[in-house]
Amino acid sequence: MTYPRSQPSSLRRIVLQLASVAMITAIMPSLSWGSSYDDFFKAAKMDDARTMEALLKRGFDPNTIESDRGDTGLILALREKSMSVVALLLDSPRINLEAKSGNGDNALMIAAFNGNKSAVEMLLKKGAAVNRPGWTPLHYAAASGDQSIAKMLLDRSAEVNALSLNKTTPIMMAARSGDILMVKLLLDAGADASLKNDQGMTAIDFAREANAKDIVDGLTFRLQRAGKL
């Protein structure tokens, strides 16, 4: 028995069509994810709460990291002061408050450095860690000069003499900024102005480099009175 010569050709066409459908189906999720990825970080940057809410409801991972700086959506939103998006992300049960950006900063550190009191309050309420190895939110608050944020962190048992990776303390950061009120706040909380970092510098040395004579004189008096100078 012989078959029509057209049958093998028709069969091949059907097989190729099925293969094409399977290939398109396979790449559809990755194409969809790529679009969602772009939309996610654009929403974080532009404070687009509607788009962010829709993405989270669809199950998009709120801890996704962008490629440029290694920021999470929450960290990027904090950098851009996109507070509506910050609130949405903090309400996500899957959010990782301690996720780090490429340079090691986390959300509470960014909020403290930017003087974003409302963000600091929200993060603390959600349980963000006040203390961590290396640089801490208090270092950043001391550098930025926001006393209200520094006090909030200290009230949550922030380590006043926390050591960064090179053993810099928060009071050194305050002295470097020439912020005498922040220096006083930290001293009143128990800061030790006699500590030295890896370069052998104390808070007085930082103040001297900043030409902050009032801080130099005040710390010198305190250390002499305590017998530490």
For residue range 52-78, list pLDDT tens digits in order.
Answer: 999 999 999 999 999 889 999 999 999
pLDDT at 35: 86
Q: Closest Cα to residue 97, out of 79, 69, 134, 72?
A: 72
CATH of the domain at 196: 1.25.40.20
Same domain, residue pair 147 and 173: yes
Give the total number of structural domains in the chain: 2
Residue 88 to residue 180: CA distance in whole angstroms: 37
Place of tokens 């900024």: 177
Same domain, residue pair 70 and 152: no
User: Worst-scoring range by mean pLDDT, 20-34, 67-81, 195-209, 210-224?
Assistant: 20-34
Which pTM was predicted?
A: 0.84
Final residue of a structural domain among 85, 114, 143: 114
Place of tokens 């004189």: 217
Same domain, residue pair 47 and 94: yes
Same domain, residue pair 147 and 228: yes
Confidence of residue 181 (pLDDT cuts 50, 70, 90): very high
Residue 60 lies in a domain: yes
Same domain, residue pair 144 and 197: yes
Final residue of a structural domain among 59, 82, 114: 114
Helix (H) or strand (E) holding 158: none
Same domain, residue pair 108 and 153: no
Same domain, residue pair 90 and 138: no
Confidence of residue 132 (pLDDT cuts 50, 70, 90): very high
Final residue of a structural domain among 73, 90, 114: 114
71's CB contacts (< 8 A; 6+ apart) are 65, 79, 101, 102
Q: Closest Cα to residue 33, out of 4, 57, 3, 55?
A: 55
Q: Whole domain around residue 49: which residue ranges?
A: 30-114
Burial (CB < 10 A; 0-12, 13-18, 19+), residue 105, is: buried
